[in-house]
Amino acid sequence: MREYLLTLCITAAVTYLLTGPVRKFAIVAGAMPEIRARDVHREPTPRLGGIAMFFGLCAGLLVADHLTNLNGVFEKSNEPRALLSGAALIWLIGVLDDKFEIDALLKLGGQMIAAGVMVMQGLTILWLPIPTVGTVALTQWQGTLLTVALVVITINAVNFVDGLDGLAAGMVCIAAAAFFMYTYRIWYSYGIEAAAPATLFAAILMGMCLGFLPHNMHPARIFMGDSGSMLIGLVLAAGAISVTGNVDPDNLFGGSERSTVHQMVPVYIPLLMPLTIIAIPAADLILAIVRRTWRGQSPFAADRGHLHHRLLEIGHSHSRAVLIMYFWSGLIAFGALGYSVNAASMWIVLGVVFLSALGLVLLLLPRFTPRAPRWAEAFVPPRYRRRRSAELAAEAALAAAEGAEPQPRTPVAVGVSGVNGATAVGSRSRSAR
């Protein structure tokens, strides 16, 4: 555990320290696009934050390669090199998109190529545990297609949710933390060394997100851009594919193959389907594709219909919308983790139900804005004062009735005469004409 924490801290430190210079470089390079209709920030903000995250990934892998226990991951498996190859390719595509806004289909092709590069180096799904059937070995082309599909879906899910300051980095960090706890348990509790690469990937991913978050929290000083969002999506998918493709469920429990798979079904839910860990971005991705296709638009055409945009429209502030998305991501990720550990515990189910009800209350909070009593109005912000709210409502109704906005009250000048007075009247008359 200490070596994982050291790797995490080194990755976070390198990412954090490099983000400042990268921000200056992005400004000089002109990677500061104009404000678009779908954006929620007020001022042009530099992108290319993925540069710092990529070098944080490289630093984490380099440190892990020189540690006593983690060095075995590089000696016994080619997956770290496969991850680095795919990450470098997807990172280059993201950097070009942050600077030059490349075509969406070109990015999709690059994502598929990056996934194919990882498959060629051994990072692929070899078998699947299927209920009532058992462990099903996949053919080479089946494993390749499934691996590429999972990588592309996860990358775009993270990319679509990257719409608010600190949202994508925080949600992926939560997913990586839950995934790390699962894979660490598989390795050390059951002695399955095949889970070691995925555990390392999760620790490095947490470090990348934690190092970038201080610069990206609202108000953000820099955005990760596609160079960052696609990168962390690929790393998250690589960890899930590594465990799903290499850990044989027959080695974890005794008994027949069929009973083993039945016991492992709740555990393998977040591994076979990485979208369960990042269920919120996945739901956002599916809704966006359906919405845009229904309108006759391209599935990759940007709009303001994402979940985080809807939270802002309901009345949540920027920070509160991000925290609500964090809450739901953590509930789903750690709920799945708890269910995988003890699926028979009723307390886990009751806890998830209670927290879900709490989450619904938080979603509807703007509709239940509290009002302070009259004696406490002097001690609360204006939006909680009944009298002030009534005055604003009356002024708005009067302005709507008159067909004009309410004018601010200004003092009337007394004693103005002569040339100045005539000039003022004349200027108003000319403006009226």
Per-residue model confidence as pLDDT tens digits over 61-109:
999 999 988 988 898 889 999 999 999 999 999 999 988 888 888 999 9
Report which listed range, 56-65, 351-360, 406-415, is most confident.
56-65
Helix (H) or strand (E) holding 74: helix 71-76
- Which residues have a Cβ under 8 Å from the Cβ of 78 and sit 6 or more positions away? 121, 122, 123
The 3-state secondary structure of 107-164, one letter per residue: HHHHHHHHHHHHHHCCCCCCEEEECCCEEEECCHHHHHHHHHHHHHHHHHHHHHHCCC
d(CA 160, CA 179): 21
Give the mean pLDDT of 153-165.
83
pLDDT greater than 50 at residue 433: no
pLDDT bin (cut points 50, 70, 90) of residue 125 is confident
d(CA 284, CA 233): 15
Asked if residue 236 lies in contact with residue 271, where contact means CB atoms within 8 angstroms, the answer is: no
Do 356 and 373 lie in one domain? The reply is no
Residue 133 is predicted with a pLDDT of 64
Do 261 and 395 lie in one domain? The reply is no
- Would residue 82 count as lying in a domain? yes
Annotated binding site, which residues? 159, 226
Annotated binding site for Mg(2+), which residues? 159, 226
Residue pLDDT, tens place only, 233-249: 999 999 888 887 666 65
Residue 42 is predicted with a pLDDT of 60
Do 217 and 286 lie in one domain? The reply is yes
Give the mean pLDDT of 300-306.
61
- Would residue 424 count as lying in a domain? no
Do 321 and 378 lie in one domain? The reply is no
- Would residue 272 count as lying in a domain? yes
Do 129 and 47 lie in one domain? The reply is yes
- DSSP structural state of residue 287: H
Asked if residue 1 lies in contact with residue 70, where contact means CB atoms within 8 angstroms, the answer is: no
Domain boundary among 340, 366, 392: 366
Do 380 and 312 lie in one domain? The reply is no
Domain extent for 391: 369-401
Query: Residue 252's closest CA among 193, 194, 190?
Result: 190
Asked if residue 242 lies in contact with residue 205, where contact means CB atoms within 8 angstroms, the answer is: no
- Would residue 329 count as lying in a domain? yes
Asked if residue 236 lies in contact with residue 172, where contact means CB atoms within 8 angstroms, the answer is: yes
pLDDT greater than 80 at residue 253: no
For 212-370, list the strands marked E by DSSP: none
Helix (H) or strand (E) holding 343: none
Do 362 and 391 lie in one domain? The reply is no
Q: Name the least confident of 2-16, 148-162, 275-289, 395-409.
A: 395-409
- Which residues have a Cβ under 8 Å from the Cβ of 34 and sit 6 or more positions away? 44
Asked if residue 14 lies in contact with residue 51, where contact means CB atoms within 8 angstroms, the answer is: no
Q: Is 372 helix (H, G, I), strand (E, B) or coil?
A: strand
pLDDT greater than 70 at residue 301: no
- Would residue 351 count as lying in a domain? yes
Looking at the chain, the whole-number percentage of residues with pLDDT higher than 70 is 65
d(CA 277, CA 185): 17
Do 359 and 376 lie in one domain? The reply is no
Using only C-alpha atoms, the chain has a radius of gyration, in whole angstroms, of 27
- Would residue 412 count as lying in a domain? no
Do 234 and 246 lie in one domain? The reply is yes
d(CA 89, CA 120): 14
pLDDT, greater one: 200 or 308: 200
Do 57 and 154 lie in one domain? The reply is yes
d(CA 87, CA 57): 9
Residue 344 is predicted with a pLDDT of 61
How many domains would you assign to the chain? 2
Do 224 and 342 lie in one domain? The reply is yes
Do 194 and 289 lie in one domain? The reply is yes
Report which listed range, 90-99, 343-352, 379-388, is most confident.
90-99
d(CA 31, CA 33): 6
